[in-house]
Structure formats: structure tokens, C-alpha cells
Amino acid sequence: MTTRTTFLSALPTPKRLGYSFNLTGRIGLAVILFWAFIAIFGPLLAPYPAGEIVDWDYFGPMSDKFWLGTDYLGRDILSRILMGTRYTVGISLAAVFISVAGGVILGMIAAVTGGWFDMVLSRLLDAFNGIPSLLFGLVTVAAVGSSIPVLVLTLAAIYLPGAYRFARALSVNVNTMDFITVARARGETTVYLIVREIFPNILGPVLADLGVRFVFIVLVLSGLSFLGLGVQPPNADWGALVRENIEGLSFGAPAVVFPSIAIATLTISVNLFIDNLPTKIRDRSE
């Protein structure tokens, strides 16, 4: 019995490694995992083909046949939400990773290098930041035409300057610490300084920033789709679903309510998860 308990207490569970986190964070993570699962397997679970008109009635109520009602053409909303998950989650995730990765890398380089490189890059991205995001998205998508790579890159470009500013501000603070001076005096390269000395110390805030930025991107993507520039019919992301069925709002149709709920659950749970990350990751700099 004693050997068994000592064996168990030696297991590196998240709790013993200091990576446990509270209930709110776990709920957030569970919802994220649920949507990730739907994004991958959703189309297989859909009761009807997403683009097919299956009901003669439009804005149908919730029923045994159509769990979440039908849309303005009589298509099954459940199937369409399951199909839309892939677009919303996929495009937003890709865009947020590109923007935050790009912003953080550039921000750290700017902070460590300093001088004219920092100044030119900062002013350039500041100028870019001055363009209203939705307007920029509208113009690009209207000019180049809407496709998924174009959407991902446009969204990433819109949010890169913000991520850059954030990461640069954090890195500048870390860069003045004595341990950076020690590493410089040792003769370390810029790459080592960025990857090993600075990055671990800004990771926590950067992750929190990633969560917030993900939410913004989901909302802007939904906005673009709402304006008809996002994912093109017959496919649709969640934002497009809301737009298609906006007339159903006055009937209280489930066709407009459920895509909105889907957007809300994803964005809120990402925030809950990020805000309740394990302390070991979140407060590394302390």
C-alpha cells in the first residue's frame, strides 16, 4: 500500500508540476475542445447536407426533425452550424497565429536591436494601424476577391500591428533587465537573446493577448461575412449564418439565435480559458 502511494505521488500529474488551474478555466477549455471536435468531425455528424433545402417552411421552429429549426430557405440550421464551425474556428485560428507569431517575433527583434530598425518598423506599423480594420478588410477582399487564404491573410494583417506593439512594449521592459546585460556581455547572439532570454518572460501576457485577439478576429470575420465578403454561399461561417437569417430576428427564429450563441460561447470560453491559465505559465515573469 505504501509503495503504491509513493509511486502515485511520484507521478508527474499537472497538479504536481504546478500546471493545474481552476474550474472556470476548465469549463472554458472544455468548450474550446468541444468546438475543436466539431470543427474536425462536424460534417460527419450533420443530419442533413448543409446546402440542401429540406423543409418547405422557412424559419421553422425547433422540432424533432430539425433540432435547431430551419433557415430562410428551409435548410437545417444544426447542419449549417456544424459546417460553419470549420470556417469560423479554422480561419480565425490560422489568422490569430499568423498575426501574433509575426507580431511577437518582430516586436522582440525591434526591442533587442533598437536603433533605426526599431524606429522604421514601429512607424510603419503605426501608420498601418491607422487604417480602420473593417474598412481595410472590405477593400482588400473586394479588390482581390474572397477566398479562404485571402481572408486568413487579411485578418492576420489587420491584427499584426497590435500584437507587435504589445510584444515590443513587453520586450523593451525585459530587455533592460540585468540578466539580458549579462547574456550580452557573454557574447550571445540576438537569436539566443530573443528565444531563450526574452520569450519565456513575455509568454504569459502574450498568451492572454492571443486570446483577446482571437475573439476580435472571430468578430471581424463574422462582420465581413455579415457584409457578404466572408465565406461565400452555399458555405457559410457563423457570421454569415447570422446575416442570412437576420430577417428571422423579428420572428424570434432559432435560425438567427443559435449561430449567435455559437459565436458567443466560443469567444467567451477562449477568454475564460486564457484568463485562468495555470499560474506557472501566466505569471512566469514574477
Partner 1 sequence: MSHSRITVRNLKIGATTDSGRRVEIIKGVSFDIAPGEIVALIGESGSGKTTIALSLMGHTRSGCFIEEGNIHLGDAEITSMSERARASLRGTKVSYVPQSAAAAFNPSKRIMDQVIEITKIHKLMPRDKAEEKAVELFKALALPHYDTIGSRYPHQVSGGQLQRLSAAMALIGDPDLVIFDEPTTALDVTTQIEVLRAFKSVMANGGISGVYVSHDLAVVAQVADRIIVLKGGVIQEEGTAEQILHNPTHSYTKELLSAFEPVLHEAIVSPTAAKHTAPILEVRNLFAGYGPVHNGEPSAKILKDVNLVLPRGRNLGVIGESGSGKSTLARAISGILPPYRGEVLIDGYEMPHALKSRSKEELRRSQIVFQLADTALNPAHSIGAILGRPLTFYHGMKGAERDARVVELLDMVRLPANLRHRLPGELSGGQKQRINLARALAADPDLILCDEITSALDTVVAAAIIDLLKELQRELDLSYMFISHDLSTVEAICDDVLVMYKGEVVEALPARDMSSKAEHPYSKLLISSIPQLDTGWLSSLEQDPDLVAEFALR
Task: Note the residues at the interface with partner 1 (CB under 8 A).
Answer: 177-179, 181-182, 184-188, 196-197, 200-201, 203, 284-286
Burial class (CB in 10 A: 0-12, 13-18, 19+), 4: exposed
Nearer to partner 1, 37 or 179 (CB): 179
* Nearest distance, CB of residue 69 and partner 1, angstroms: 49
Question: CB of residue 196 vs partner 1: minimum separation in angstroms?
Answer: 8
Report whether 50 contacts 285 (CB < 8 A).
no
**How far is 229 from 151, CA to CA, in rounded Å?**
9
CB atoms within 10 A of CB 157: 19
Q: In the complex, what is the shortest distance from the CB of residue 200 to partner 1, in angstroms, rounded to a whole number?
A: 3
- E strands of the chain, at which residues? none
- Give the shortest CB-17-to-partner 1 separation in angstroms: 12
Nearer to partner 1, 165 or 284 (CB): 284
Amino acid at 119: M
Nearer to partner 1, 13 or 63 (CB): 13
Q: What does the block give as the cell for 274?
A: 486564457
Rounded to a whole number of angstroms, the minimum distance from the CB of residue 174 to partner 1 is: 9
Q: Please, which residue, 182 or 261, has the CB nearer to partner 1?
A: 182
CB 255 within 8 A of CB 166: no
Lookup: cell for 91: 480561419
- Smaller CB distance to partner 1: residue 198 or 253? 198
